[in-house]
Structure 1
Amino acid sequence: MLIKQNPHKEYAPIEGFADFRQTVASFIFGEQSDVIGRSRHATVQGLGGTGSLRIGAIFLYQLQSHSKKVYIPEQTWSAHNQVFSHSGFVVNHYRYWNSSTLSLDFNALMEDMETMTEYSVVVLHSTAHNPTGNDPTLDEWQQIIRLMKRRHLFPFLDCAYQGFTSGSVEEDTRVIRLFAEQMDELVIAFTFSKNMGLYGERIGATSVVCRTSEEADNVLTQLKRIIRPIYSHPPNWGARLVTLLLNDHQLKKEWFN
């Protein structure tokens, strides 16, 4: 279907194709969300999960003046530590897994969050925690959000496995939407490598939720400035595949099923 459209081979814009960016943002936040309705997001195409994380990490490091610390789960995807340390952050860890009960140690997680330096960045796996596969319940997520708001902690959601927890891509976006509804600002790194099997296409997105559309416009400018000296323009093919699938009712239905 895509080949029949005879797509051009010109450079994509620095921030990625506009239809891809809007499609992905609506997919993540929901078409009826306040974030979409008031254009409170700056979303750019990223190079898979790693590239999307890196863009978000550099942006936050340059933005943060109160704290240059990031807190990452003790059990996490191995590249997290490198991505954030290479972006300039001082990497710290918080407890996540109880090796005795082989389950999430929620009490320890909350205790550690209570002692984190205010205004620090906290990396959270939004679903299908890598490597344990254990996530907080929705009620526990609500408690995490309340604590982060009270202690002025900045959430960075890594969304690499949407659909792997419940079997429903839509269901597994609930945590993202909870944060977007209740937090004025957050960063999300999203990838389609796993849930669409587009590993080699390096297709993802970095999305920054802002207080206002004016702030979002300013953030988009900053994200483009970060991208320009790194890779300048994202690849075309994966973005076109994602845009086609998410905007074609039949293809989207087959993917959801």
Structure 2
Amino acid sequence: MLLEVKDLSLSYGSKKVLKNVSFSLERGEVLCIVGESGSGKSSILLSIIGLLPKHSSISGSIKLEGRELVGLPETEYAKLRGKDIGIVFQEPSLYLDPLFKVKDQIMEAYTTHFGKVGAMDRVVETLKKVGVQDVERVMNSYPHQLSGGLRQRVCIAIATVCDPSLILADEPTTALDLTVQRKILGLFTKLKEEGKGIILVTHDFGVVAEVADNVLVLKEGEVVESGSVWDIFDNPKHEYTKNLLSATYLKA
């Protein structure tokens, strides 16, 4: 088992955002977490990677390859981020530093864990792997000089340059047009084929149909339904899941 989450509860001050959430993830599996805005989807990812605000209170268990992450000191968590757990955020413009070239930002993610030896070769290799054609130009560009699709590829490169076993993705295609969205989802499929475990947060069942093996449906911080992608699409049991699916079909 790559990741096992049991009875995860989370509060921001007096507000409970997650309530006894449980699920597991194997290598080579894509789990999509689906729900409306404010349902707690992103908070699950932040709980796993240990980037919660100071006023938060967390309980339950999060085990990565058998190692308990809840209560892990920040010094230990820092060793895991990037190396064992990579994360891709929704809006690359907010995540990428506008003052540094792309190559420096990817290299920093690598050298933090492995040092400078071979770092540039690894940057080039990773950019090619995420589908960047003009590697030299992209490496030497600042984020604002790139398209939205290229910026998201750079973010995926940062998340995967250290070859982590677990990749978290928070609505990584929301700001992209449909053609670019499909290409980015194709990258996640390739990562899955390499044996990565992937948790992808979305509100779009179209994305779920494209990449998911299993689905977790979240409503107001609680899991209302979970199962294989086939179970969820062919035989949804909870009314909330049915409504989300109906909304997707109406958009289509």
TM-score tier by shorter-chain length is 0.3 to 0.5
Q: Return the TM-score normalized by structure 2.
A: 0.40
Which structure has greater strand proportion?
2
Q: Return the TM-score normalized by structure 1.
A: 0.40
